[in-house]
Structure formats: C-alpha cells, structure tokens
C-alpha cells in the first residue's frame, strides 16, 4: 500500500471503502516517481540507462508534466477554481458555482490546510479528499440538475456530496454510503459547519446530504433507484451489473470500471450507453464481510421522504425574498446607481517552458521570455491601469459581503424564533 505522502503527490483518488490509494494514469497522468528498482536500475554490463528508459531524467520530467502541469496551486479556493477552469476540468457554470461556494480547505484538518489549494489528494487515517481535478471530472460527467436524486458510494468527508447538494436544490435527494463510522462523524461535523458559517449558504437552496454506514456492495435490493450514482472505488466487471441496477432509466452512473473512469447512461430498461472519460487506477472495492451465519449485513438507505409543510413554507418564503432582492438590484441598476466597487482578481501569467538543459545527468528547465508575451503583458497592464488609478484617490478597501437575505428576514415583523428558523439558525 502506498503511503499517504507518496499518494498525495500523485493527485490520487482514494476509495473510502478501500484501504489503498489510486491515481490517474495513462495519457492524462502518470506516476511522478519511478519505483525504487527503477531508480537504481542499470543496463546490462554496467551501461547507463537509455535516455528513453523510465529512470532517465527526461522520462521523469515528461511524467511530471503529464501529472500536474495542467493545474497550478492556488492561493485560495477561488484561484484554484480559476486554474481548474483554465485547464478545462471545470466547463459548466453550475459546477463552477458549486466549487466556489464550498471552500476545499474547510474539509482539511487545521494542521494540513496549507495543501488545500493544490491539485493533490489528501489522506489522514480514514479521512480522504481526492484531487480537485478528479472531483471536477466527476461533477461534469454527472450532468447534475435541480431536483434529481444522487447516491454517493464512498461518501467520505461529504465534500463532493455537499457540492452536489447545492445543484440539486431543496427538492432533490442526496444520499451517501460510507464504510468508516469515524469518517461519517467527520462528514457530519463539516456539514454542520458549512450550514452554520458559510457565506455561500444563503445564495442557494441546499439539498442536505444524508449519510449511512455500510459497505456499498451490500445495499438492500429493495432500495429505490437514483438519477445519478457515483462510486469512488475501483469496480470490477463482476460488479458492473450491480452498480447499474441502482440507476433509473435516463440516469447516469460514473465509476472507475477496469481502470477507466467511465460514464454509463441508462437509455432503457436493458439499454446502456458507455463513455470512457479518463484512464485511472483506483483502489478496488472492499468485499463484504459476512456474519457468522454467513449472511451479509444489508445497508438500508434513507427513505425518500416528503418535506414537511413547515419546511416547504420556509423554502417558499426564502425564495420570495430572494426574488424581491433581485428585483431591487435590477431596479437600482436601471436607475443608474452604481454597484459597490469590485476588485479585479489578480491573474498570474505563467511563462511556458521553452528549453530543457541537461547537465550532469540532471534536468534543468530554463524559462525564456517571448517578445510577444511581453507585448501582451504590456497591453494587459495598460488595460488594468485605469481601473487601478480610479480606485487610488479614494483608497477603497474591499468590504465584507453583505447578506441581503439575512437583513431582509431580520427586518420582517415576525417573532424572533420564526426569523431564526427562516435563517436555519445560522450565526452569520
């Protein structure tokens, strides 16, 4: 089993129901380090390894480029999402909004948050987060829409399930199955923290995920089917039909099947369309442990319940207030009232690698200026300068975001307990 440190460097995918790492592979990404045997390997008769061998610096360098050259680390969550968009991992607005709304660092333990905005996986004990690029591919492949039902097999920290819940909205279904009880407790803590403290929560109507403990291969056969299903562990051919049985007609299943991240669409009761998305290497699903009697422990998924009248009223009232806020904003814009000054995100322009210099069998990269790049940068600076000059006289500083929904609710002529209910008892 690969260690957490080495696995994290691979931008890997981990199955919450499997005790091992897995990583993207093939043409998209490959291992950054050769094995110890390869590092120390020599050719017969003491000859040096060939320049195309796996241990040659150029080969290592090429693998490094394939592994993580597409997505650079961000200084914050927004910059990480900018990089994922630029690399075409995030391609749709709904997925982008979900990624921006939930700060990836909130799902890290405090002492590991420095690595939250890198395109790397993270693991600590049973707690795990896959690389951002993998979550992006999964979210895009699921083609999520409001009101759908979603099942996450190996729900882990709840990070993916929470992003999905922002898109599903209040009338969706959001269930997760996780093998480890300590991870479920961690996921519930993070979910509660998001609901109570996130600045983004009131911008959405959330489909709160529900988590159950168990092995995802032991789901009760009388369970309901889902519009969207994701499995975060390697699925062997023998379990393909089982996974398909969880899907409604017209639904989409995304799973790593025989070392390919695969999207399967159910087009009819016995008809399927299959698309290979990405070559990967996932840890396999853990096989069920049977009881002493030889019977499996069935996993019973949460019931699909109708919301209470009180809850439906809260959703309707919040929706009406949001429409009023939107109409007021449009009215101000129509009257020529300026919105508060917005600060342009700083964009880092990275120069391309132009040359590779070999010296003492090591690879050194030299970045060479391109005259056209310099000209383009100069033009960009000219375009951005007026905006900066406008803000200099008043020395504007960014203000904390205003929660207009909260202000409206608190101004209503209602008893305080009802106001706080409308706000989901949030503190901010």
By annotation, the residues acting in catalysis are: 130
In DSSP notation, 89-104 reads S--SHHHHHHHHHS-G
Taking the CB of residue 204, how many other CB atoms lie within 10 A of it?
A: 17
**H or E segment at 176?**
strand 173-178
Instruction: Tell me how far apart the alpha carbons of residues 369 and 378 are, in angstroms, rounded to a whole number.
Output: 13
| Nearest residue to 130 via CA among 146, 101, 108, 100 | 108
| Six token digits for residue 209 | 């995920």
Tokens 């982008």 found at: 96
**What three-state secondary structure class fits 202?**
helix
* Mode of pairing for the β-strands spanning 355-359 and 362-366: antiparallel
Please name the residues in contact with 374: beta carbons below 8 A apart, sequence gap of 6 or more: none
Long-range contacts, 302-305 (Cβ 8 Å, 24+): 302/175, 302/210, 302/212, 304/149, 304/173, 304/224
Number of H helices, E strands in the chain: 13, 13
Q: Are 18 and 140 in contact (CB under 8 A)?
A: no
Please name the residues in contact with 182: beta carbons below 8 A apart, sequence gap of 6 or more: 125, 126, 127
Taking the CB of residue 91, how many other CB atoms lie within 10 A of it?
A: 13
In DSSP notation, 256-315 reads EBSSEEEEEEEEETTEEEEEEEEEEEPPBPPPPPP-TTS---PBPPPP-PPPPHHHHHHH
Instruction: Tell me how far apart the alpha carbons of residues 59 and 37 are, in angstroms, rounded to a whole number.
Output: 15
Write out 113-168 in H/E/C secondary structure. HHHCCCCCCEEECCEEECCHHHHHHHHHHHCCCCCCEEEEECCCCCHHHHHHHHHH
Instruction: Tell me how far apart the alpha carbons of residues 154 and 289 are, in angstroms, rounded to a whole number.
Output: 17
């Amino acid at each position: 089993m690969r260690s957490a440190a080495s696995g994290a460097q691979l931008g890997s995918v981990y199955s919450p129901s499997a005790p091992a790492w897995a990583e993207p592979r093939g043409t998209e990404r490959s291992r950054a380090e050769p094995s110890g045997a390869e590092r120390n390997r020599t050719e017969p008769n003491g000859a040096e390894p060939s320049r195309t061998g796996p241990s040659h610096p150029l080969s290592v360098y090429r693998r490094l480029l394939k592994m993580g050259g597409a997505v650079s680390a961000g200084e914050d969550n927004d910059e990480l999402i900018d990089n994922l968009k630029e690399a075409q991992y995030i391609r749709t607005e709904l997925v982008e909004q979900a990624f921006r709304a939930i700060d990836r660092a909130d799902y890290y333990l405090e002492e590991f948050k420095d690595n939250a905005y890198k395109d790397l996986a993270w693991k600590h004990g049973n707690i795990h987060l896959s690389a951002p690029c993998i979550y992006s591919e999964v979210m895009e492949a699921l083609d999520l829409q409001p009101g759908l039902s979603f099942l996450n097999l190996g729900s882990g920290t709840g990070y993916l399930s929470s992003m999905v819940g922002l898109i599903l909205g209040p009338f969706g279904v959001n269930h997760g199955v996780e093998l480890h009880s300590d991870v479920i407790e961690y996921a519930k803590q993070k979910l509660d923290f998001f609901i109570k403290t996130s600045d983004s929560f009131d911008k959405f109507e959330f489909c709160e995920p529900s988590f159950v403990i168990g092995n995802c291969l032991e789901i009760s056969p009388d369970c309901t089917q889902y519009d969207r299903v994701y499995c975060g562990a390697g699925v062997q051919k023998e379990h393909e039909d089982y996974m398909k049985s969880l899907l409604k007609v017209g639904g989409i299943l995304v799973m790593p099947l025989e070392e390919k991240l695969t999207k399967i669409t159910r087009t009819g009761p016995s008809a399927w369309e299959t698309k290979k998305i990405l070559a990967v290497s996932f840890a396999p699903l853990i096989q069920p442990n049977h009881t002493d009697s030889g019977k499996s422990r069935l996993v019973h998924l949460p019931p699909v319940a109708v919301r209470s009248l009180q809850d439906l009223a809260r959703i309707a009232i919040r929706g009406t207030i949001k429409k009023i806020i939107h109409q007021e904003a449009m009215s101000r814009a129509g009257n020529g009232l300026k919105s508060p000054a917005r600060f342009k995100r700083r964009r880092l322009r990275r120069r391309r690698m132009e040359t590779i210099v070999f010296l003492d069998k090591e690879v050194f990269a030299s970045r060479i200026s391109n005259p056209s790049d310099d000209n383009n940068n100069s033009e960009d600076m000219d375009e951005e300068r007026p905006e900066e000059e406008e803000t200099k006289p008043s020395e504007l500083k960014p203000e904390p975001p205003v929660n207009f929904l909260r202000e409206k609710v608190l101004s209503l002529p209602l008893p305080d307990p009802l106001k706080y209910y409308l706000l989901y008892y949030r503190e901010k």
